[in-house]
Structures are given as structure tokens and as C-alpha cells.
Amino acid sequence: MFLQKNKTKFIKSYFMNLAFNLANIHNNMTGTNPSVGCLVSKKDKILSYGVTGFGGSPHAEFSALSKLKKNSNLDCYVSLEPCHHQGKNPPCTKSIVNKKIKNLFYSETDNDPRVQGKGLEFLQNNKIKISKINNIYKKNFYIFYNNFNKNFLPKVYAKIATSKNYYSFIKNRSQITNIYSRKLTHILRSEINAILIGVNTHNIDNPILNCRINGLDKVNPSRFIIDPNLRINKNSKLILSAKKIKTYIFYSSKNNNKINYLRSKNIYPIYLPVDKNNHLNCKEILVTIGLLGYKNVLIEGGYNTIKRF
């Protein structure tokens, strides 16, 4: 009896760890949604599994459950509480009920205000037994996601390219990085939600700010440009690619012609007031990015932009 209990406990812990390993596959690649792992079993035999898709769709539970044929008395392991709200994806709780899950094992409650225990409560009301399994190996897996849901401020990263003598710009030389650091940049872009640059970097470098690595080239972060006076070049790579990659511009100028032109190119202008130095407030920029749902942002701007943040 003792050995059987320990075996059952080990299997449950093992399956939950597998759910977290699944979530880790797409960690930071699921847009504004958290990466979740889901595993479905019956009598300790794995029947199906899923992970949140690139960009946040489909959800892990839907992916795992949709592969199942008609069945009953199933166990479902999820790294995070299933959602119970209608967004771009249907509520995962309803998929779980429809597939006749008997036991749901979860590791963390989702502190998104739209969830916060509502998913677990709905499942309990539908006669599904709920059990929590603490996963000691991945206890900080959702720490940045949880922090974001508390203060709505994205986590900020910065990419800084400098020469050995600490110059970030060298006259008559277009790049001071090399092939290895550029590949690292593309990997980093695939793992964050948003990129932020200033208008000077945009106009001088004419970047496209996408991910150019085979297999990750569809995981492009949204792009934000700080441009108080709307000096942005009209025919840049960034503007011409805005139909494919969501792009925003922070501005304060009342240049309606330029604003209308940008909107016609699928760019989202966001008005913010400037301070006495003609600068946009950095905290207001980050709060706005956070309110749009972006949980992390990579600053790829020049020295002045990075210094201000």
C-alpha cells in the first residue's frame, strides 16, 4: 500500500514536470499569452499532450484535447490554471468539461484578472476533481508573467552593441557586430513580445526588426518607435512591412497628414505628451506597451534611447 501510494505520487509529479517541459518549448514565443503545457492520461498512460502555439494560439489544453477520440475518466495535467474567458481562443475550461475529464492537476493559479481561480471554480462546479501539484523544479517559471499581471509593466531588455573602446557608432562603418552576435539577436527577438527603438536608429539604420532564423521566422515581435515629431522616413523597411508585423509609433506632433499616412500603412500612432525637454516619458511608454498586453520589450535603440530607460 505504501509503495503504491509513493508510485502514484511519483507518476503525478513526473507528469506535471512533463507538462512544464512542454511549456518550456515555446516559452517567450507565445505572444501576450503565457506558454502552457498540457498532458492527458488514463490509468497512468499518456494519451495526448499539447503546448501553447506560437503567438498564443491554439491553447495547450485545446491542442491536447482535440487529438483525443471519445473517452472518459481521463486525467489532465496543466502547468497553469485553464482559462475561463473568451478571447482569441475559446475557454479551455469548456473543452475540458466536454472531453469528460475526471481529474485535473495544476501547478499554479493564473493571476490574470480574467482568470484568478474562476477556471478552477467552473471545473469543480462541473464535478471535476481538482488537485494542486507543486513543481519544485519550475517554481519560478511564471514569475515574470505573474509580476506583469500585478503592475502591467513589461520586463525590459536592452541590446547594446559597442566597440572595444565603448563606442556604439563608428563613422564609415555600417555595423560593429558580427555574424554570431547578429544570430543571437535574432534568437532574442523570437523570445520577446516587442522591440523598441528611437526614430534616429530607424532613419539611420533602416532596420526591419524581424526574426531571420529558419523555423523562427514567423515569431516576429511587434515594433515600437519613439518619434515625438514624426520625423520617420515614409518609405522605410519597417513601414513597408507593417502589414505583416504589428507596428506602433509614439508621437506628440499634430501633423495630421503624416498620422493619416502612417495609418494608411497599417501603423498604429499612439499620442503621448512631451516634457519640457521635448522627450516622451519613459514610464508612460512602458505602461502603454504593457496595457497593450506586451509582457516584455527589447530596446534596440541607440545610446540616447538606452540611456533614458
Q: Can you spell out the DSSP letters for 230-273?
A: ----TT-HHHHTTTTS-EEEEE----HHHHHHHHHTTEEEEE--
Which pLDDT belongs to residue 302? 80
CATH number at residue 108: 3.40.140.10
C-alpha grid cell, residue 195: 522591440
163 and 111 in a single domain? The answer is no
158 and 221 in a single domain? The answer is yes
156 and 303 in a single domain? The answer is yes
The number of C-alpha atoms within 13 Å of 205 and in the hemisphere containing its C-beta is 19
Mean pLDDT by 10-residue block, N- to C-terminus, for the chain (309 residues)? 64 94 90 92 94 92 90 92 88 92 95 92 95 83 90 87 58 61 78 92 91 75 95 93 95 93 96 89 94 91 82
- Backbone dihedral angles phi then psi of residue 237, each to the nearest 5 degrees: -60, -35
Counted domains in the chain: 2
Which pLDDT belongs to residue 70? 78
Q: What is the pLDDT of residues 80-112, one digit of tens each?
A: 999 998 888 889 999 999 998 999 999 999 999
Which pLDDT belongs to residue 190? 82
Which pLDDT belongs to residue 165? 58
112 and 256 in a single domain? The answer is no
Of the residues 143, 175, 203, the one at which a domain ends = 143
136 and 157 in a single domain? The answer is no
CA dist 120 to 14, 41, 141, 276, Å? Answer: 22, 19, 20, 50
Q: Whole-model pTM above 0.85?
A: no
Which pLDDT belongs to residue 186? 78
84 and 133 in a single domain? The answer is yes
127 and 183 in a single domain? The answer is no
Whole domain around residue 121: which residue ranges?
Answer: 2-143
56 and 76 in a single domain? The answer is yes
CATH number at residue 217: 3.40.430.10
Q: Alpha helices of the chain — where are they, by DSSP H? A: 2-25, 60-65, 92-98, 118-125, 143-151, 179-190, 199-205, 237-240, 256-264, 282-291, 303-308
Of the residues 108, 143, 178, the one at which a domain ends = 143
99 and 40 in a single domain? The answer is yes
249 and 275 in a single domain? The answer is yes
Q: What is the pLDDT of residues 3-42, one digit of tens each?
A: 456 667 889 999 999 999 999 999 888 888 999 999 999 9
Cα–Cα distance measured from residue 27 to residue 194, given in angstroms and rounded to the nearest whole number: 15
Which pLDDT belongs to residue 170? 52
Q: Which of 65, 57, 64 is nearest to 33 (CA)?
A: 57
202 and 121 in a single domain? The answer is no
Of the residues 120, 143, 166, the one at which a domain ends = 143
Q: Which amino acid is at 191?
A: E
